Amino acid sequence: MCNNLYKPDLMEIIQVQRQTPDVKSVRVRFRDPARARAFSFRVGQFGIFSVFGAGESTFNICSSSNWKDYIEFCFRRTGRVTEALWRLERGDTIGFRGPYGNGYPVEAWEGKNLIFIGGGIAMPPIRCAVWYVLENREKYGNVTIVYGARKVADLTFASELDEWSRHARVRVIRTVDPGGETPDWKGEVGLIPHIVERSQISAANSVALVIGPPIMIKYTMPVLDRIGLRDEDIYTSLENRMKCGVGKCGRCNAGHVYVCTDGPVFTMQQLRSIPNDF
Amino acid sequence: MSAIIHESGLRTLIDGWLASGKLVAAPVEVSGRVLYQRLKSSGEAILESRERPANSIKQFLFPRHQALFRYRLNGKQVELVDSADDTREQIIVAARPCDAASLPVLDHIFNCDCKDAGFDEARQRTTVIALACNSHDEACFCTSVGLGPSSEAGADALLVDLGDSEFEVRVLTDKGRKLFEGRTEPGTREAPALEGPPRKFDAGAVRQFLANGFDNPLWGEESVGCLGCGVCTYTCPVCHCFDMVDEGNAAGGERVRNWDSCQFQMFTQHASGHNPRATQSQRQRQRIYHKFSIYPERFGALLCTGCGNCARNCPAGLGVLRLLEKIDSRVRQQHV
C-alpha cells in the first residue's frame, strides 16, 4: 500500500523516567533523520504510539513544540500496550503516528493570564503548554498552575513544578487528596475544585485549561463560573478512546464531533453544544 | 433499443473472467442461505433477485480482517514491511442496488481528505454489476432512504431481469462498458417497472427528531431487547467501524484491521474505566445518530441504504427500521 495511513514512523527511546509508581515518561526521537527534520507539531496535539506485538495507544505529546531533538509522552501502566511500554528501555524501538488533532490555540491565548488546572495523569498535556508559554514568556500574562493528585507519590513532573514556581509571574499550587499527604508535605490538601475556590485566582483577562477525570471537571466548572470565567475561555482536552486518529474508525465521536480530528481541544462552550457522549 | 444479454451469455462471461484470473463474487447459496461470496465457477451464482444476501459486498473492499503492514522484530530494531496487495481485478455480479449504493457512502469515509490506501485500491480494481431488485420483504426500506429497486448509485452496470432468462444491460460507467462491450445484443423488450417496498418512514422527520432527541426516553424503551451481539453492524453494507491490533509472535507479525462494532461495550471504554456509552441504549442511540444525523451532517447523505439486513439478521427482532418507524410515528403524533 502506498502512503499507508496506518504505518507508523519508527522512533528510538532515548530516555525513560519513572514519574510515579505507575507512570513513566518516555523521550523518543525519529530513527529517520529526514523525518525528524520535517516533523513539527502544536502543543496539545497527540500521537498514536505503538509497541510492535502489543498494539497502539493514544497519548498527548507532552514536550514543548519548541524542542526539536525529541518528543516526549507519558503513560500510566494500565493495559496491554502500556504494560508492554513499561518493559521498554533506552534504545528500544516504538512506532509513532501523528501529530493528530487541533492542539491548543496558543496564538489566541497571547496577552492573556493563563490558569492551568490538572488532576493526576492530566499533568503531561498541561506540561507541554506550560513549557511553551515559559519559552515565549513575554507573550503571556500571569500563569497559575493548580495540580492535584491522590497522594504525593502520584504527582508527575514534580521537579518541573518546583522549577516553574521559580519563574517570575508563575504561581504553582500543588494539592493532594485528603489522606494523600506525607509528614513533610508543604502543599495543599483537598480536592481540586475546593483548592481552586480557595486560591483566589483572578479571572480578569484569563483563559483556563482544565484537564482531568470527568468528575474533577464536572465539579471544577461551577467554581470557574463563580470566579467569573466564561465558558468560551475555558478549554479542555478530551480523551475518548481512539484507534485510527484520522476520523475513520468511528469510535471517538461525541455527537457530530470527532475528538480525533475536530479536537481533542474544545472550549466548554463548544462542549455544551454537543451531546454528553464523552 | 436496449442492450440484452442472455443468462447463459452472462455465465459464459463470468467463466471467462474467472479464467483470466479476475476475482468474481456474486450471491451464492451456502447451507440454505444466500451470501455474497467469491465464485469458483459461474454455476454457483444466483442471478435472480430472490432472497437478499444476509451479508453485504463491503467485505470485498473492506475485508473483515486485513493486514495493514508487517513488522519484524530484531533486538532493539524493528523493520516495517508493506503487506502485499492483491492487485487482481474484481467483479461483483448481481449486487443488490442497496449494496452497490454502499460504495459511494463508504467513499466519504475512506476516500475523503486522507485516503485509506487499502480501500482506495480495492475500489479502483472493482467493478460492480448490480441487479435491479424485483423482490422485497418486510425488512426492506430502500424507498425510505432515497433509493429504490433499480437505483444506479455505486453500480458500473445495472442488469434488469426481463424474464425468460434475459437481462437488459444498462451500462453506467467506463468500467461497466469494458465488461459488456460487444457482449450484448440489441433488443426491444421493455424492462418491467419495478415496485419497491412501500415508504415506511420519513427520513426528514427522523432527522428532526434527532435534532433534540438525544435524551428522549425512547432509546431506553426500545433498546431493552438488544443483546449487543453486533450482527446488525457486521451485516450492514455501510457500517465501517474498525479496530486495529497486532498479531504475531516474538519474531514479528502484522498490524491488522478488523471489523468492530459500536454495539460492543469495549468499543468506547477508556483505560480509566470511564465509558461514554456504557449502556446498550446509548450504543443503539449512537448507531441511529451516526446513520441519520452525524454522517448526514458531515457528508450530506444517509449512512443507510435501506437493505434491512440489521432487522433480518437480528436475533432479538430489532434493527434500525423498527426504531425509525417508532420515531416517525412519534413525530407524526407530535409526541416528541
For residue B259 the three cell numbers come to 471489523
Q: Could you give the residue range(s) of every CATH 2.40.30.10 domain in chain A?
A: 9-100
Q: Helix B320-332 crosses helix B203-212 at what angle (to 10 degrees)?
A: 80
Chain A residue with Cα closest to B248: A53
Distance from CA of A263 to the nearest CA of B (A): 15
Chain B residue with Cα closest to A91: B76
Phi-psi region of A207 (alpha: psi -120 to 50; beta: other; left: phi over 0): beta
CB-CB neighbors (< 8 A) of A253 in chain B: 286, 290, 294
CB-CB neighbors (< 8 A) of A252 in chain B: 268
CB atoms < 10 A from the CB of B258, how many? 13
Beta carbons of B210 and B288 less than 8 angstroms apart: yes
DSSP assigned state of B149: T
CA distance B78 to A96: 13
Q: Is the pLDDT assigned to residue B15 strictly greater than 80?
A: yes
CA distance B295 to B112: 13
User: Residue B214 to residues A236, A255, A262, B181, B195: CA-CA distances in angstroms?
Assistant: 23, 9, 20, 52, 35
- List, as own/partner pairs, every contact residues A252-256 make where C-beta atoms lie below 8 angstroms and the sequence separation is at least 24, other chains included: A252/B268, A253/A277, A253/B286, A253/B290, A253/B294, A254/A278, A254/B276, A255/B214, A255/B289, A255/B294, A256/B293, A256/B294, A256/B297, A256/B298
Confidence of residue A1 (pLDDT cuts 50, 70, 90): very low
CA distance A189 to A174: 8
B63 lies within 8 A of chain A by CB: no
CA distance B268 to A244: 13
DSSP assigned state of B194: P
Chain A residue with Cα closest to B122: A1
Confidence of residue B335 (pLDDT cuts 50, 70, 90): low
Confidence of residue B86 (pLDDT cuts 50, 70, 90): confident
For residue B334, what pLDDT is reported?
A: 73
Tell which CATH classification among 3.40.50.80, 1.10.3720.10, 3.30.70.1060, 1.10.10.10 matches the domain A113-237: 3.40.50.80
Q: Is pLDDT larger for residue B75 or for residue B302?
A: B302
Chain B residue with Cα closest to A2: B117
Distance from CA of B195 to the nearest CA of A (A): 35
B residues 31-60 near A, CB within 8 Å?
none
CB pairs under 8 A between A and B: 125
Confidence of residue A3 (pLDDT cuts 50, 70, 90): low
A256 lies within 8 A of chain B by CB: yes
One-letter identity of residue A112: K
Average pLDDT estimate for B99-112? 95
CA distance B116 to B123: 11
DSSP line for B24-89: EEEEEEETTEEEEEE-SSGGGB--S--SPPSS-GGGGTS-SEEEEEEEEEETTEEEEEEPPP----
The CATH number of the domain covering residues in A9-100: 2.40.30.10
Global pTM? 0.93
CB atoms < 10 A from the CB of B34, how many? 16
For residue A41, what pLDDT is reported?
A: 97
CB-CB neighbors (< 8 A) of A79 in chain B: 271
For residue B191, what pLDDT is reported?
A: 85
CB atoms < 10 A from the CB of B335, how many? 9
For residue B286, what pLDDT is reported?
A: 96
CA distance B99 to B59: 11
Q: What is the pLDDT of residues A131-187, one digit of tens each?
A: 999 999 999 999 999 999 999 999 999 999 999 999 999 999 999 999 999 999 999
For residue B162 the three cell numbers come to 426481463
Q: Is A49 strand, coil or helix?
A: strand
Share of chain A above pLDDT 90, in %: 93
CB atoms < 10 A from the CB of B95, how many? 30
ipTM of the complex: 0.90
Cis ω for the linkage preceding A99 (within 30 of 0): yes
Q: What is the pLDDT of residues A75-125, one digit of tens each?
A: 999 999 999 999 999 999 999 999 999 999 999 999 999 999 999 899 999
